Homo-oligomer: A and B are copies of this chain.
Amino acid sequence: MKIAILGAAGMLGAKLANRILEGALGDAELTLIDRVMPNAQPSATSLQLDLADPDAMDQIAALNPDLVFHLAAVVSGQAEAEFDTGFAVNLDLTHRLAEALRTLNTNPRLIFSSSLAVYGPPFPTPVPEDFRPTPASSYGTQKAMAELMLADYTRKGFLRAQSLRLPTVSIRPGAPNAAASGFLSGILREPLHGKAAPLPVREDTAVWIASPDITVEGLLHAANLPWETANDLNPLNLRGISVTVSEMLDALERLAGADARALVHAAPDETVARIVTSWPQSFVTSRATALGFPVNTDIDEIIREYCAQYAPDVLRR
């Protein structure tokens, strides 16, 4: 099976590539695509490509992929600050990708990383599975529009797209990105490395999160579903856990000590707070559950997952 990952240099893309190279989707001929050079993998092809390049979509089509993971996006904070860039990348390039795959006439599968940001207030808690998306951010708008477009390309038989609405991913390793949700990784990651971390929202802010490993396993699980099953649940809200910031900090203190928690300091940011509090805090995910999509046990598990990979020896218990 020929597989392409768009956004392969990103955190999820790189983890996904590793799992595919471990055999998570069987025999795979894998191409890693990103506008920055994806990490070289001995058994994968790396292709440095800006999706906005005039011939980028032709190059992707030339790979004749059976399965594409489209993880490339302008993140929420940047899409809010750079309105035109957000629409150009998150909507127009996704549309051009769909067109490129359509020309293949092979009906390839496409897994599209959408987001809980397609929802906006007012909404009930938890959000029912049939609730209307009214995004309160440009990022959420672009994701919701792309979902609709891909569903119609799918209905017309041009490709077989499945849109997965990911929870906020935490704990992201590495440097902070421009996502409004970035602090939901930072307030745990930075203290685990002995660094200070700003908290832009109130501690009673509740969020819907999943760990990087669980998120990647969800992407793989979707790709392994029979198409009829996947299409029946399109778009699909993925499973997450609902936690408050103070519960996250309690877990940090429980596992890494009061010194770690003390590194988090209030630094209110109205723009970030407005975006993050416009997202639902919890969802009904009975469809994803019935299909066996994975979920984290609790916030402690999420912290342990991070530490095992990036910060060994810092946990007190």
Contact = CB atoms under 8 A, between A and B. Distances in A.
Contacts of A151: 134-135, 141
Nearest to A84: B99
A220 interface: no
Interface stretch (A125-133, A181-189, A261-269): A125-133
A144 B144 CA distance: 10
Copy number in the complex reads 2
Interface in A177-220: none
A156 to B, nearest CB: 6
Nearest to A139: B152
Among A87, A145, A155, which residue has the most Cβ atoms of chain B within 10 A? A145
A220 B155 CA distance: 35
B132 A131 contact: yes
A307 interface: no
Tell me which of A135, A144, A145, A152 has the highest count of chain B C-beta atoms within 10 A of its own C-beta.
A152
Contacts of A314: none
Contacts of A131: 130-132
A287 to B, nearest CB: 13
A241 interface: no
Contact of A145 (B130, B135, B148): B148
Main secondary structure of the interface of A (DSSP, over half): helix
B145 A83 contact: no
Interface in A124-176: 130-136, 138, 141, 144-145, 148-149, 151-152, 155-156
Given A130-B131, A156-B83, A141 B136 contact: no
A313 to B, nearest CB: 46
Contacts of A148: 133, 135, 141, 144-145, 148
A136 B156 CA distance: 10
Contacts of A135: 148, 151-152
Contacts of A87: 149
A145 B152 CA distance: 11
Contacts of A156: 83, 138
A269 B141 CA distance: 36
A134 B131 CA distance: 11
Contact of A130 (B132, B136, B149): B132
A280 to B, nearest CB: 13
A87 B156 CA distance: 13
Given A131-B132, A141-B148, A148-B148, 18 more contacts: A83-B156, A130-B131, A130-B132, A131-B131, A132-B132, A132-B133, A133-B148, A134-B151, A135-B148, A135-B151, A135-B152, A136-B155, A138-B152, A141-B149, A141-B151, A141-B152, A145-B145, A145-B149
Interface of A: 83, 87, 130-136, 138, 141, 144-145, 148-149, 151-152, 155-156
Q: Top 9 closest A-B pairs, CB basis?
A: A141-B152, A145-B145, A132-B132, A145-B148, A141-B148, A130-B132, A144-B148, A138-B152, A130-B131
7 contacts: A130-B131, A131-B132, A135-B151, A138-B156, A141-B148, A141-B149, A141-B151
